[in-house]
Structure formats: structure tokens, C-alpha cells
Amino acid sequence: MAKQKHKKEVSPRLIKWFLLSAGVAIVTVVLLYTQLLVDELRNREHKMIRTYVEQFDFLVNSPDNSPNVDLTFFMDQVIKNIHFPIVWTDANGEPVQPYVTSVINVEIDTADTQEAQREYLVALIAEMEALYEPLQITDRYGNVISKYYYSHSSLITRLELFPVIQILVIGGFIVLGYVGFSYIKRTEESRVWAGLAKEAAHQMGTPLSSMMAWIEILKVDAKPENEEIVHELERDIERLNRISHRFSKIGSLPERSRQHAASLIERVIQYYKQRLPALGSSVVIEHELDQDIYVLVNTDVFEWVIENLIKNAVEAIEGDGVITISLKQKEGAVVIRVQDSGKGMNQATRRAAFRPGFTTKTRGWGLGLSLCRRIINDYHGGKITIVDTAPGRGTTFEIKLPEGGNGGV
């Protein structure tokens, strides 16, 4: 039989780098092309103003024409077609009075004093001189009689801003699309995992019912020396029932009630303390729990979170080790920490730890921490994070929950 060829999947990281590179390339091309257009328009405007000034210089110094007539025509028919700002000064670069008639396409507030108008034009001349060298008008003997300072038109300014605005708009759409698709992806993943959890609960129902029936049969004929075994089997089946019940609640909003936080955590700790020796584990569980704290939680799924964190801590410890669990109030919140002395995580594992389907184990669904975050963040309005971890240093998980009130129930 011929071997079936598996299609090689493209790495998501490779796709991200390709899209990023394509985006950078597009932005670069837009910027370069826009800069070429701006430079070409600047050169055209520079040539235009030089042509106008040379014409004006010719009219001023022409011995054969009537300057008054020609200048009037020049000012009325030529200058009015100029669309870029110009300031006319004397030979020393001083604005010529009256200032309103010595500028083109420059707005001057006539309500200002003459000195204020002059200061405004002097500052504008300095800006223009930094961009372009002024054009000079000379008499027939070569003496400078006036200067024309100019800048580019508002069209060039708008064109320079165009790629920036374009990039911002495109970037905004990209960010919006990324956030939207990420949300859709997370929602779909959550629905898939919730469906798997519900299906697992459904599939567990029949064998559990059968096992409960067999336990009842064993209890009838149980010998005294086997009573403890039957009792432990009952407890484990009860636990499996609770797990099935928890799975069935994934995807729906469970009911919450005010509970004594320390009692819930102690119940889970005692369960593990009894079973760790049977598993051949020498892990020690220590705890420091504030007895005056109450939380508004769903008991079944909340205990599941604590169980998951303890289970992960036990699996992270190779050989002897310590798990420390603390419960306290801090800054108006209930803070629960589960710290282990295990192998810890690198930064890549830390970032992906809560992602559905992610696991470092050879066997596992990668479902535990993802469901923990869903239970704490979505169902209980809290937050679960990894506050400290490093290879060889262990890991510390932290749960923050809203306070459920103090004092007894």
C-alpha cells in the first residue's frame, strides 16, 4: 500500500511574518511614491516662481516698455494665478510696507498693529528661507533692489500628510480586523471546548450509573475487611459524579452562593493529601488560609480550579517538593496563590499556558488552565494569572476574586 502523503501545514508564525513584511513593503512603496510626487511638485513650483520673478525683473528693468502698464498687467493677470505663499521684501530682507500688499497667499490680521504684523512676517520669512533660497530682483546695474521669499503650496503640505493619514486608517482597520477575528476565533474555540466538556460529561453518565449499581451489590456482600475499600470506591465515584457535573456546566453560567473560602480550599487540600502517598508522591502541601474571608462562587467549578492548580503543581515537581497555598485579602480583593517548587516555565510556555489546546504533556487535552481562566474570569468576575515562573524556580498562580462579605453566614 502506498504511503499517504500528508500535506505540510504552514506555520502561523510564518504567515504572521509574511503579512507583516507585506504590510511594511506596501507602506514603504506608498511613502516613496508620495515623496517622489512631492519632490516633483516642489520643483515645478520652484521653476514657476523663478519664471514669474524673472518676468517681473525684466519688466522692471526694460528700457523700452512702460513699466506702469506692464506691471499692472503682470500683477492683475499673472500674480493672481499663483497658489503658493510669497513675501516681498527690500534688499535687506525687511518686509515692505504696507504689509498687506507685500504678500501673496499669506493671511495678515489687519486688526493687529504694524509692529505685530512685521513680527509675524519676519518669523514667516525665516521659515521660508529655511526651505528655499529667496529670489532676488536686481536693477540694470546688478544691484539687489528687492527679494521674494516663498514656500510651497498647501497642496504639497496636504500631499505630505496623505500617506500618514492613509497608514493610520489602514492600520486602524488592520487592528480592528485582528481584534475582531481574534475574538471570533477565541469564541469558536471556547464553544468547541465547551462542547467537548459537555459531551465528556454525557459519555461518563452511563458507566458511572453502572459503577454505582455494582457498588451497591458489593455493599450487600462486603466482608468486614473490604468495607474500607468499598467506602473509598464510593468516594471516588462520588468525585467522578462531581467532575461529570462540572463538565456539564461548562458553557452555561453556573449559580453562585456566598461561601467560606478557607473551607472550600481545605476540602480540596485534604483530598490530595490523602491520595498523594498512594500515588508514590512525596510532595508536601502547606497552606496559610485567612479564616475570615467569604467569596461569592459556584462551589463545584471553583473547587475544580483549585484542584487543577494543585494537580499541575504536583506534576511539575519531580521528586520531593513543596506546594504552598495562601488565602488573604489585599486591596479590596480576595487573593489566592498556589506556589510550587517544580521545574517552572519558560516565557513561551508562560504566554501560551491559558490557550485552549496547549499542553506540554504527552497525554492531555490542554483544557485545564483554559477552563480555569474561563471559570474565574467569565463566571466569577475575577482574574487568574501566572505571577512568577522561571525554569528551575517553580511557578506561582494567582487568583483574584471580588470580596463576598466578611463575618459568618
Structure confidence by residue, pLDDT tens digits, 66-77: 444 444 555 555
CA distance 230 to 46: 99
Structural fold of domain 257-402: Heat Shock Protein 90 (3.30.565)
Structure confidence by residue, pLDDT tens digits, 282-291: 889 999 999 9
pLDDT-derived band at 47, boundaries 50, 70, 90: confident
135 contact partners, CB below 8 Å, separation of at least 6: 49, 50, 53, 147, 148, 150
Residue 6 has pLDDT above 50, yes or no: no
Q: Which among 308, 304, 301, 303 has a CA at the least distance from the CA of 323?
A: 308
pLDDT-derived band at 408, boundaries 50, 70, 90: very low
DSSP state of 397: E
Judge contact between 254 and 301, C-beta under 8 A: yes
Q: Which among 213, 216, 211, 205 has a CA at the least distance from the CA of 236?
A: 211
Determine the pLDDT at residue 62: 61
Residues 127-142: what's their mean pLDDT? 82
Residues 382-387: what's their mean pLDDT? 94
* pTM score of the predicted model: 0.53
Determine the pLDDT at residue 68: 45
Q: What is the DSSP string of 279-338?
A: GT--EEEEEEE-TTBEEEE-HHHHHHHHHHHHHHHHHH--SSEEEEEEEEEETTEEEEEE
All three cell numbers of 375: 471559570
DSSP state of 376: I
- Domain residue ranges of the chain, discontinuous segments joined by +: 14-152, 257-402
The lowest-confidence range among 173-177, 184-188, 364-368 is 364-368
Determine the pLDDT at residue 404: 65
Average pLDDT for the chain: 79
Structure confidence by residue, pLDDT tens digits, 15-32: 778 877 887 888 788 888
pLDDT-derived band at 251, boundaries 50, 70, 90: low
